[in-house]
Amino acid sequence: MLPIIFINLDSDQERRQRMEGEFARLGLDGRRFEATRWTALSADEQARFYSPELNARQFHKPLVNGEKGCYASHLRCWQMLLDSDAPALVVLEDDIRLKDEFAQVITAIEALPAGWDMIKLIGRSDLGKREKLRAQAPLCPGFSLVDYRRIPSLTAGYVVSRSGAAKLLAQRLPFGRPVDVDLRYWWENHLKVRGIMPAAIHLDESSEQSSIGQKAGEGSLAIKWHKFCLKAAYSWHSWRQR
């Protein structure tokens, strides 16, 4: 099976134990990947990862340290894949639970022909929202492979291929948006993002208490206007590229 990792801060021991229990329950070799604590990075390392100038253009508010550390963690996961011999990597955050069919889904994804960069393991429909799709096809019993018309922003679980990791590392260093938002801008680096329905994972109740911490507020009219403009531009470009 493809290598499986979960991103976890040293301080989140309870989440680590729960994730290790999930892998033990299914007999899987899931390994912990130490999350990046942003304040532990040097000024040079922070500048390599994050650009305030890009942030001002691409997003409606500054990123907080937790958001920066989260993105840096995912970037390091993608680099780890390219440094290995694996064809793809399963990346999980530590606030999820695995469905009993998780291994079956990952095995089916591994058997897919080349031509995809990322496959999301959870989407909007599993949060009670309407999924916007272009097409879907059988993946394995009980699950479908879907092509999104509008990519969901969740990064709780996904499989990234070597081609996807290479594209992301070439175009997303430095970054200016949160990682879950940045992945939705697939046309900027020609990222081929797919998904599965239903999800292969559940969000754990601990996901309601994010380890990212308090995000910057959106109270001013200027921030709200900037957000509106960015959303309108995103909708236009997404429609045009499709």
Q: What is the DSSP letter of 90?
A: E
pLDDT in tens, the chain (242 residues): 899 999 999 999 999 999 999 999 999 999 999 999 999 999 999 999 999 999 999 999 999 999 999 999 999 999 999 999 999 999 999 999 999 999 999 999 999 999 999 999 999 887 778 888 999 999 999 999 999 998 998 899 999 999 999 999 999 999 999 999 999 999 999 999 999 999 999 998 876 666 555 555 666 787 888 788 878 877 777 777 76
Taking the whole predicted model, whether its pTM rises above 0.85 is answered as yes
Task: Please report where in the chains the tokens 């910057």 appear, as a residue.
Answer: 216
pLDDT at 241: 74
pLDDT at 90: 98
Residue ranges per domain, the chain?
Answer: 4-217
Burial 46-73 (b: 16+ CB within 10 A, else e): beebbeeeebeebbbeebbebbbbbbbb
Q: How many CB atoms lie within 10 A of CB 214?
A: 8
Q: 3-class SS at 187?
A: helix
Rounded Cα gap, residues 195 and 146, in angstroms: 5
8 A C-beta contact, residue 92 and residue 120: no
Burial 197-213 (b: 16+ CB within 10 A, else e): bebbbebbebbeeebee
Alpha helices in 92-178 (DSSP H): 102-110, 162-171
Rounded Cα gap, residues 143 and 138, in angstroms: 6
pLDDT at 230: 77
Rounded Cα gap, residues 69 and 65, in angstroms: 6
pLDDT at 86: 98
pLDDT at 209: 64
Strands 88-93 and 157-161: antiparallel
Beta bridge partners of 146: 136, 195
Rounded Cα gap, residues 73 and 70, in angstroms: 5
The domain 4-217: what is its CATH number? 3.90.550
Q: Which two tokens stand for residue 56?
A: 């001002």
pLDDT at 132: 85
8 A C-beta contact, residue 1 and residue 106: yes
pLDDT at 194: 97
